[in-house]
């Protein structure tokens, strides 16, 4: 019988670089969120969604192109924007353009 030994976790997290497609998808997502926010104050929306204004700013500008699902779900609710529209914006550009 072979005994498996526990290997400690080094704490280093290595993430593969985002592809150009993922970066563009994040930009589309950010544009849709910015359009949905319209005249609402960025800080008010961010706090209502449980995040910092800087995080929302990064998402809207595409500097945070892959936000967590929970973040998107909260923004969907706060902005009264169907999560399916956000998913479509991430998946492909034509649906975003058709929705605008």
Residue 11 domain flag: no
- Give the CATH number of the domain where residue 28 resides: 1.10.260.40
Residue 12 domain flag: no
pTM assigned to the model: 0.76
Domain span at 28: 20-99
Q: Read off the pLDDT of each residue in 58-67 and give the average, rounded to a whole number.
A: 94
Q: How many domains does the chain have?
A: 1
Burial class (CB in 10 A: 0-12, 13-18, 19+), 67: buried
Residue 1 domain flag: no
Tell me what pLDDT residue 48 has.
97
Whether residue 100 has pLDDT greater than 70 = no
Q: How far apart are CA 1 and CA 53, in angstroms?
A: 55
């Amino acid at each position: 019988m072979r005994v498996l030994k526990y290997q400690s976790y080094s704490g280093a997290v290595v993430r593969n670089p985002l592809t150009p497609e993922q970066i563009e998808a994040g930009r589309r997502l950010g544009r849709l969120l910015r359009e949905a926010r319209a005249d609402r104050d960025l800080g008010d929306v961010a706090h209502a969604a449980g995040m910092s204004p800087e995080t929302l700013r990064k998402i809207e500008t595409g500097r945070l192109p892959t936000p967590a699902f929970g973040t998107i779900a909260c923004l969907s609710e706060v902005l009264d924007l169907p999560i399916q529209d956000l998913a479509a914006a991430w998946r492909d550009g034509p649906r975003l353009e058709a929705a605008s």
